[in-house]
A and B are shown apart, each in its own frame.
Chain A
Amino acid sequence: MERPDWAPPGIDISVPSVSRIYDYYLGGSHNFEVDRQTARRAMEFLPGLPKIMQANRAFMRRAVRHAVAEGITQFLDIGSGIPTFGNVHEVAQAATPDARVVYVDHDPVAVAHSRAVLAADDRSDIVAADLRKPADILHSPQALSLLDFDRPVALLLVAVLHFLEDHDRPHEAVAELRDALAPGSLIVLTHASYEGLPTAREVAGGAVDVYRGTRNPLVMRSREEVTAFFDGFEILEPGVVAMPRWRPEPEADPDAPAGDPGAALPDGPDDDEDPYTFAGFAGVGRKA
């Protein structure tokens, strides 16, 4: 029998949650043993998973700053998970005080936690909704009161679309969201992929198998498939690339003397990055 609409999913904390696993990867303690066990098992196959998550956070941070630089002050972050260090509203509000952020997640625990964290912030709110049902998001009271869809909005789909299986019709969901956005709106997107991983596909497949045990199996997609999410958007430079390559911020003084362990590194950013951070794809698109 199909689960009735009124029964909220995921209140069983004995089942691992991707948002709490994500928090664990990021060094947080907003997680339970079952989450940590799952994370550790996945890390047996891909020890660099935390680095991938960190790269996601760093990319998101750069992209939010970029959006603010383009004059965007409204953010819709779908799949926001457990609020942790360097959240969108912190980054955005640091860059522009009038930034408004609507978070969306379907994990009730993440939603409850977000609600607690955002209780004092009247420019940010959380919607309990599912990316598979964009209308629920777009017509939520929070979105309607905080966001003006006649003006550009930055739509963040960071590390979330790879939790939608093909039968969930993720491309259609993104298209529905896109159609609700004003011209000049941005889509900020990352997606897991076998491409760019420093390990063999079979090994990475082990981690994918681990996620089958969660409510949200992991779906790896090719660059082509990820690029298709940008239909209707103009993809900004440098395109759909590995996360660290999307508009990296330059390193410190290249003139520091060599041979000094305290001297700044003259090399490009890639060389110093953890190889895992090059797994998957990131990109930003602008709606014409």
Chain B
Amino acid sequence: MRIPVQTGEATALPDSPEDRITRFARIWSRAIFPVTATSLTRQEFEVHLVPLARELSRALHAQPFDPAPAQRIGADLVAVHCTDPDALSGTLGVIESYLVLYCGPAGREDGEEYRARCARLQHALAAGYARALRERTLGEQEAIARSALSARTDAQQALHASEARFRAVFEDAAVGIGIADLDGNVLECNEALTRMFGGVEGHIRGRNVCDWSHPEDTPQVWRMYGELVRGERDHYRVEKPYYRHDGTVLWTNLTVSLLRDADGKPQYQLALMEDTTERRLLNLRLRYEATHDALTGLPNRTLFFERLEKALAGKGGRFGLCYLDLDGFKAVNDSLGHAAGDRLLVEVADRLQSCATGPGEMVARLGGDEFVALTTSAAGPQDVTDLAMRILSTLSAPVRLDGRELSVRGSIGIVEGPAGERGPAEVLRSADITMYRAKGAGGNRFELADAEADARAITRHGLTNALPAALERGEFFIEYQPLVHLHDGSVHGAEALVRWSHPQHGVLGPDRFIPLAERTGLIVPLGRWVLEEAVRQARTWQREHGGPLRINVNLSPTQLHHPGLVADTVAVLEESGLAPGALCLEVTESALIGADDQLLEPLRRLAALGVDIALDDFGTGYSNLANLRRLPVSVLKLDRSFTQSMQRLPADPVDVKIVEGIVALAHSLELAVTVEGVETGAQAAQLRALGCDTAQGWYYARPGAPDRIHALSLADAVPS
């Protein structure tokens, strides 16, 4: 493809003046094109020069001569981007060498004149070029300077707008914002920060960050601060307290960032603060409430366990624990009401607190009337028993409550020892067991924990826990010990004795578990089961052997108090079909000591129905003999201690006299006398001689399975 040459005229004839002008332009173009910066092609550039060459030619010949057009040509060169001065020198050289040659007159007559004109055209062109280049340079310099200025103004405006936006953010932010230099001098702070610090700007601005240390600062706060201002870290976040000007404390979530300049050099520190004072107070209060007893204000179980755990974890240290349970507090609550009970607890708490004020000592309320004093400062058991004595002594002063004076007593279990050996649960259990030991020993005292007592208690505890399931699983069974008519040795009946076939401990006698069942209340269902079982068995014997065989069943004190006693007994008798007269309920003498009519009423009703009531362990409980008449009792069971000495001859004459007296007394009250623990024939003979009615003991038979009674009955075993 060819770009048509736009000369504005038809293609010149060879060597015509126009052709010579074109060739001059070509030489010119070739000379300066390499030094131009134009984006025109050579061809285009050459075409651009043709009119300029024609102009030069015209000026060379003009009459009168005027060099001015050459100035315009110089300016035009600048306009087409021939701004390199080499373009001027090249142009001048081409004019010098070729203008007259290509565009001069055909003849040689006025060669001097044309040479002079040529020189002047060069001068004019150079001047025009220089002027245009100067104008252009100045213009472009001004333009670029204006552009730079304008760009900078734009940038400043953008910066200003952005600063205004950020200023608004800074001023109106809900978080406190402060800026300080690297020496810690506060340069700026916003409204929110001022408010946090109490509302006076002067309290913040101009102060130094380092002045705001606080005793509760975490150690790393100032370490991180140092790292930040040294440029070793870019930010940190901590919880930090500040003193306000008025001395109150401001708690904040503080975020500090390092601001660097464009080269990365640390310049300022920027602090963002969130006021967490209220939230913190709320948290503290919630924490306090979660760890303190609302009634007494003492630390509660949770906090106590935290401290105990810590105390027990401390290697090399010792701990001491006083576990206090008030004696008879339930009675206070029951008789004076809960409000009074509560006031008593508050008073006790205050007194306890006064006993444990030393470092490493604390008092807590575990619940109800249970308190605990923990010390980690005791050097040994002596210090802890001292603490326990202080506690008992502070309690000994009577408490005034509703105008009356109450004496408060307590039982304390002490556990003392080196830390790091036992866990909190184990320690507390030991303290609890020991406290019960103190209580069992009469209360108002302390006991020191010992491993053996703990072990026993733990077994007891285990048995107690296992009782209900044992009853459900049928682990109990009954053995029967025959009651024999002393005068003829015939079997009169049998006493039902309950046994527990414990899966681990083997067969356990009633002394091992009846007290536990008493304490837990399980004695009621257990007693009822024994009654049913024994009555059913007695009925079976009667049915199988015809004879009226009696059955003795023990009643525990708790059963005696149970409101369902009469109804239950009647129901059992009716269900089995056993005549009430064939049943004898044995009640211990101690259970009836001081019994009032209300307690005796059920027994009277049972007696009225025909059920025999036996007074068990008679002679051990300092009975008011005169009282015997009042009791609905038909049998006295003489305690074995009276008859023990009669196992061998000669019997103790005092014992003989006592038994003789009792028998006489009983018979005069129309009471039958049964003796227990008959182990020898001599004993049996002696007791028969003394007039006792019935006996039981190994001499006749040991307690055994029901079929053994069956066998004895058939044999009508009469000892010789």
Contacts and interface: CB of A to CB of B under 8 A. Distances in A.
B50 to A, nearest CB: 11
Contacts of A110: 147
Nearest to A262: B23
Interface stretch (B38-46, B368-376, B434-442, B540-548): B38-46
Interface residues of A, number: 47
Nearest to A28: B140
Contacts of A108: 151-152, 154-155
A112 B39 contact: no
Interface in B106-163: 136-137, 139-141, 143-144, 146-148, 150-152, 154-155, 158-159, 162
A89 interface: no
A228 B43 CA distance: 34
Interface string A112-134: 11011000000000000000000
Nearest to B163: A6
B260 interface: yes
Given A85-B37, A250-B2, A251-B43, A27 B83 contact: yes
Contact of B148 (A6, A13, A58, A261): A13
B264 interface: yes
B144 A252 contact: no
A11 B151 contact: yes
B227 interface: no
Nearest to A114: B147
A86 B144 contact: no
Interface in A33-86: 50, 53-54, 57-58, 60-61, 82, 85-86
B480 to A, nearest CB: 97
Contacts of A111: 151
B251 interface: no
Interface residues of B, number: 49
A30 to B, nearest CB: 4
Contact of A263 (B1, B23, B136): B23
A288 interface: no
B23 A109 contact: no
Contacts of A86: 38-40, 81
Contacts of A60: 39
B148 A250 contact: no
A85 to B, nearest CB: 4
B395 to A, nearest CB: 68
B155 A11 contact: yes
A32 interface: yes
B379 interface: no
B102 A30 contact: no
Given A6-B158, A263-B23, A85 B151 contact: no
B688 interface: no
A202 interface: no
Nearest to B47: A252
A200 interface: no
Given A11-B155, A29-B141, A249-B3, A116 B150 contact: yes
B1 to A, nearest CB: 7
B41 A58 contact: yes
Contact of B137 (A13, A29, A272): A29
A3 interface: yes
Contacts of A115: 150
B39 A54 contact: yes
Interface of A: 1, 3-4, 6-8, 11, 13, 20, 25-32, 50, 53-54, 57-58, 60-61, 82, 85-86, 108-113, 115-116, 249-252, 260-265, 272, 274
29 contacts: A8-B151, A8-B158, A11-B148, A11-B152, A20-B144, A27-B82, A27-B83, A28-B83, A29-B136, A29-B137, A29-B141, A29-B144, A32-B144, A58-B40, A85-B39, A86-B38, A109-B144, A110-B147, A112-B151, A249-B3, A251-B42, A252-B42, A252-B46, A261-B27, A261-B98, A262-B24, A262-B27, A265-B30, A274-B34
